[in-house]
Chain A
Amino acid sequence: MIAKEELDRAFDARFSPEIKEKLQAARVAVAGLGGLGSNIAVMLARSGVGHLFLVDFDKVDTTNLNRQAYTIPHLGMDKTDAIKMILADINPYLDIKTECVEVTPGNVSRLFGEYGIVCEAFDRPDRKAMLVRELLTQTEAVVVSGNGMAGYGDADEIRTNRVNGRLFVCGDLTTDVGSGTGLMAPRVAVCAGHQANKVIQLILK
């Protein structure tokens, strides 16, 4: 296995020790490990975020391969287990915690109450609204949500919108997967990139 010192050296060549220490000390939760969440987790792991808490109750299936971080060997696995495999191949020295559970208003506080930054990465609109509402009313977390990334319209319609000091919403805010437009890898990845970038900004601010 690659030595931790070797990975650290590669990071040190690009960024200052202050940045590395802040990222290594950061604790970020991601709720939902589909197209948004799996890509967010990969980007945060590559960026050296030291602790990730990743939550999903779903298994990897063939319809995920068009936009999610998983590959054929992961089919049938819990997404929480599959993402751990992927992240271990990027950086085996990160502290990755997962829970295979459906998020409900009743467990939001237990799951996310100790996290300063939580990414909302669900797919159904009612579930997205529920999670954002419950995080903002039950916890102190800053929430980075994804809203509107279906189809193949202009990628630069996807933006990071500051709603208030505790809520950032990334997306075009309008393109609904239910309106006959499917999800495709590029715009989903653009939106995930907006979310991961906002998380890094929040960590380094």
Chain B
Amino acid sequence: MVTINGESVNAAGKTVAQYIAEAGYNAERVVVERNLVILKKEELGETVLEDGDSVEILNFVGGG
């Protein structure tokens, strides 16, 4: 299991890009931290989630 934003999710084996698309996020509007490391944009599609990973997805909304 992978811990994503504090919840246990069965996402091991998926890339981060696959997971965020399936979960309904727009990849252009998120910052993803995996095991305390911020992922570069190009790393989203290359990074495969593993059991025990801890992921924070920070979703940005408009306005400023």
Q: A and B bound? A: yes
Count A/B pairs, Cβ under 8 Å: 79
Closest partner residue, chain A, to B40 (CB atom): A137
Selected contact of A174 from candidates B26, B30, B61, CB within 8 Å: B61
Bound Cα distance from A29 to B59, whole angstroms: 23
Interface residues of A in 25-73 (CB under 8 A from B): 32, 34-37
Closest partner residue, chain B, to A151 (CB atom): B63
Contacts of B29 in A (CB 8 A): 125-126, 128-129
- Asked whether B60 lies within 8 Å of A147 as measured between CB atoms, the reply is yes
Selected contact of B63 from candidates A130, A132, A148, A167, CB within 8 Å: A148
Bound Cα distance from A160 to B30, whole angstroms: 18
Bound Cα distance from A122 to B26, whole angstroms: 18
Q: List 17 A-B contacts (CB under 8 A).
A: A32-B64, A35-B63, A37-B64, A124-B62, A125-B26, A126-B26, A126-B29, A126-B60, A129-B28, A130-B41, A132-B60, A136-B38, A149-B64, A175-B63, A176-B61, A178-B61, A183-B64
Bound Cα distance from A163 to B58, whole angstroms: 9
Interface residues of B in 32-48 (CB under 8 A from A): 33, 36, 38, 40-41
Central interface residue in B26, B33, B61, by most chain A CB within 10 Å: B61
- Asked whether A132 lies within 8 Å of B62 as measured between CB atoms, the reply is no
Bound Cα distance from A169 to B59, whole angstroms: 11
Contacts of B41 in A (CB 8 A): 130, 133
Known: A126-B28, A132-B58, A149-B64. 12 other contacts (CB 8 A): A34-B64, A35-B63, A121-B64, A125-B26, A125-B28, A129-B28, A130-B28, A133-B41, A147-B61, A149-B63, A163-B56, A164-B36
Majority DSSP secondary structure for residues of B touching A: mixed
Bound Cα distance from A125 to B61, whole angstroms: 5
Interface residues of A in 67-85 (CB under 8 A from B): none
Contacts of A124 in B (CB 8 A): 62
- Asked whether A150 lies within 8 Å of B63 as measured between CB atoms, the reply is yes
Given that A126-B28, A164-B36 are known contacts, is A146 also in contact with B64, CB under 8 Å in the complex? yes
Give chain B nearest CB distance to A34 CB in angstroms: 5
